[in-house]
Chains A and B, each alone.
Chain A
Amino acid sequence: MTDTIKSEPFVLNIGPQHPSTHGVFRIKATVDGEKVIDAEMVMGYLHRSMEKLAEERTYTQNIPFTDRTDYLSSMSNNLGYCLAVEKLAGIDVPDRGNAIRVIMAELQRLASHCMAVGAFTNDTGAWQTPVMWCFREREKILDLFEMTCGARLTCNYMRIGGVAFDLPAAFVPAARKLVQELPAFIDEMEALLVANEIFIARTVGVGVLTPEMATNASLSGPMLRGSGIAWDLRKADSYCGYDKYDFEIPIGYRGDSYDRFVVRLEEMRQSVKILKQALDGLPGGPHSTQVPLALRPPKGEAYARVEGPRGELGYYVVSDEGPSPHRFHIRPPSFINLSALKEMTVGGSVADAIVVLGSIDIVVGEIDR
């Protein structure tokens, strides 16, 4: 661009109430013409002080809070918190409990990635059709959750020591049917978007993150893998018996928004693969161990993490031998994935900023807690 036409930089508020911010989140973008020259994030509109509230409730009473942080992946959040308390108190989970946890976590990953992929295509201008297809498939997964625990969004299904109740008899046949249907849906999405000229023009080379930048900015999940780092906690730190299942870690090579999208699509395939194995090898026996309601773990601390749909979902719990945690800290992946937002958006256009934000796949309930 030549400097013959002078323009005055001005501040453009993207959000807080705007469909592309996926919640109540604001980017204060300073733009020069259509070029973003500075971006500042404003958050906290949904802050509910969960970490403080959790210090006054028992360990079991805190499980529903975790549903409400990342409300698109409540099962994974339940799992991360329960693993942290189990690590702190030295509680073992029976095999069936672990297998059910894996099934639920992978179903949740599918549901969450459906939402991520659908909303992202919406942001790039593939208006409504892909997002409705994604919602259609997500509904089927939520139906399975409803069948199991009565809730569709805030499941509150995991418990310290296992899961709340055993699977209903109709669950396994219904899940098998869904697992057979899903690959066709993923192929359909891929055929619609991956080689689509407009989609490629909007996403390739937008919001490029090198592996060094991604590591330095503490990113995790599809953001990190899209930049070419094959780091997946299910493989690296195989909790819940993930080492028994055969699956691969998809990675991207350019580190742009397109790669992050493709990584998510491919992860859905891998989740289906895990689900097939988990449903086939579902062991019998108890689904949970008995844990006292007013649990008092020994003095100490534990940091446990799971590979949530958005990345590393960590829980840091400190016990002072009381009935409630002394400190309850959530490491929210979408909050920390925003660390690189400025680097990705500055220098691009305003429309690219929307694409970049969509490719991060934020959930504001988790950013603000």
Chain B
Amino acid sequence: MAVTREWSGHDVAAALEAAIPGAVAKADAVACFIKPERLIEAMHALRSGAGTDFVHLTNLCGVDYWDHFEVVYHIQSFVKNQICTIKVECWDRDKPSVPSVVPVWHGAWMQECEAYDLFGIRFEGHPNLHRILLWDGFPGWPLRKDFLSMPGGLQPGLNEFSGIARREAPPVRPVND
């Protein structure tokens, strides 16, 4: 039975440390966190160079953890049938910015536009970063956790599960950029 081998973050970190010392910020069981300033270098190495051939960028998306953003990359190798998860943390909530991986994988082009459109994360070096799904004048970044506030302080959904406490939402911040 063929199953894609999922690299743990520690495996990726070990492979990267050998090729590019100092690029890894931290690693856990799922993902390897790379320092933003070393991202392009590290991604080039993972694509070919660090004994790995992750030639296919499968998935790229942003996640909002209230106090910081993460950009998640799932990259895979066809020949070796492997997949791994790479993450980059971004702590500046007002002007989040991550280097663009379009020079490494052309397939990141549209997915980075989508992450910019919905989270407001700037991908530095992207050839044409624009709002891809929403229109240019759209106010705010809708997939941020602090985006949604309904009239009268209402919260959408889940009314039928009355015993379940809602997550506490922090006050809505003014949206810059």
Identify the A interface with B (CB < 8 A).
Answer: 43-44, 47, 49, 51-52, 56-58, 61, 213, 215-220, 229, 231, 233, 235-238, 243, 294, 300-301, 303, 305, 312, 314, 316, 318, 320, 322-324, 326-327, 329, 331, 335-336, 338-340, 368-369
A323 to B155, CA, bound (A): 15
Contact status of A218 and B58, CB under 8 A, knowing A51-B118, A229-B78 = yes
Other-chain residue from A236, A237, A327 in contact with B64 (beta carbon distance below 8 A): A327
Nearest Cβ on chain B to A298's Cβ, whole angstroms: 13
Chain B at the A interface: SS class: loop
- Give the total number of A-B pairs whose CB atoms are below 8 A apart: 110
Other-chain residue from B1, B58, B64, B109 in contact with A314 (beta carbon distance below 8 A): B58
Contact status of A238 and B106, CB under 8 A, knowing A215-B55, A323-B158 = no
B50 interfacial by beta-carbon distance below 8 Å: no
B164 interfacial by beta-carbon distance below 8 Å: yes
Q: Quick one: which of B120-177 are within 8 Å of A by CB?
A: 132-135, 142-143, 147-148, 155-158, 161, 164, 167
A229 to B56, CA, bound (A): 12
Q: Which residue of chain B has its CB nearest to the CB of A218?
A: B107
Q: Are A335 and B158 in contact (CB under 8 A)?
A: no
Q: Are A305 and B58 in contact (CB under 8 A)?
A: yes
Q: Quick one: which of B81-136 are within 8 Å of A by CB?
A: 81, 85, 105-111, 114, 118, 132-135
- With A218-B105, A294-B161, A329-B61 known, 11 other A-B pairs at CB within 8 A are A43-B132, A44-B133, A52-B148, A56-B155, A57-B158, A58-B158, A58-B161, A215-B55, A217-B107, A218-B108, A220-B58
List residues of chain A with CB within 8 A of the CB of B1.
238, 243
List residues of chain A with CB within 8 A of the CB of B63.
318, 326-327, 329
List residues of chain A with CB within 8 A of the CB of B74.
303, 314, 316, 331
A217 to B107, CA, bound (A): 4
B23 interfacial by beta-carbon distance below 8 Å: no
A215 to B81, CA, bound (A): 14
Contact status of A47 and B134, CB under 8 A, knowing A218-B108, A303-B59, A324-B157 = yes
Q: Are A47 and B108 in contact (CB under 8 A)?
A: no
Q: Are A323 and B164 in contact (CB under 8 A)?
A: yes
Other-chain residue from B72, B78, B107 in contact with A231 (beta carbon distance below 8 A): B78
A58 to B30, CA, bound (A): 24
List residues of chain B with CB within 8 A of the CB of A324.
157-158
A57 to B85, CA, bound (A): 26
Other-chain residue from B61, B81, B109 in contact with A316 (beta carbon distance below 8 A): B61
Can you list 27 A-B pairs with a CB-CB distance of less than 8 A?
A: A47-B133, A51-B143, A56-B155, A215-B78, A216-B55, A216-B105, A218-B58, A218-B106, A218-B107, A231-B78, A233-B4, A235-B2, A236-B4, A236-B78, A237-B3, A237-B81, A305-B58, A312-B58, A324-B157, A326-B63, A327-B61, A327-B63, A329-B59, A331-B74, A338-B110, A339-B107, A368-B133
Q: Which residue of chain B has its CB nearest to the CB of A323?
A: B164
Identify the B interface with A (CB < 8 A).
Answer: 1-4, 30, 55-59, 61, 63-64, 72, 74, 78, 81, 85, 105-111, 114, 118, 132-135, 142-143, 147-148, 155-158, 161, 164, 167
List residues of chain B with CB within 8 A of the CB of A338.
110
Contact status of A44 and B132, CB under 8 A, knowing A237-B2, A238-B1, A316-B72 = yes
Q: Are B143 and A336 in contact (CB under 8 A)?
A: no
Q: Are A294 and B164 in contact (CB under 8 A)?
A: yes
Nearest Cβ on chain B to A321's Cβ, whole angstroms: 10
List residues of chain B with CB within 8 A of the CB of A314.
58-59, 74
Q: Which residue of chain A has its CB nearest to the CB of B63?
A: A327
Nearest Cβ on chain A to B114's Cβ, whole angstroms: 8
Q: Which residue of chain B has its CB nearest to the CB of A231?
A: B78
Q: Which residue of chain B has its CB nearest to the CB of A322?
A: B167
Q: Are A336 and B3 in contact (CB under 8 A)?
A: no
Nearest Cβ on chain A to B6's Cβ, whole angstroms: 9
Nearest Cβ on chain A to B170's Cβ, whole angstroms: 15
Other-chain residue from A57, A215, A220, A340 in contact with B157 (beta carbon distance below 8 A): A57
List residues of chain A with CB within 8 A of the CB of B2.
235-238, 243
Q: Which 3 A-B pairs have the closest CB atoms?
A: A218-B107, A56-B157, A44-B133
Nearest Cβ on chain A to B142's Cβ, whole angstroms: 6
For B61, B72, B108, B155, the residue with the greatest tally of chain A CB atoms inside 10 Å of its CB is: B61
Q: Are A216 and B107 in contact (CB under 8 A)?
A: yes
Nearest Cβ on chain B to A40's Cβ, whole angstroms: 9
Q: Are A339 and B58 in contact (CB under 8 A)?
A: no
A369 to B147, CA, bound (A): 18
Q: Which residue of chain B has its CB nearest to the CB of A44?
A: B133
Nearest Cβ on chain B to A21's Cβ, whole angstroms: 16
List residues of chain B with CB within 8 A of the CB of A213.
106
Q: Are A236 and B106 in contact (CB under 8 A)?
A: no
List residues of chain B with CB within 8 A of the CB of A216.
55, 105-107
List residues of chain A with CB within 8 A of the CB of B55.
215-216
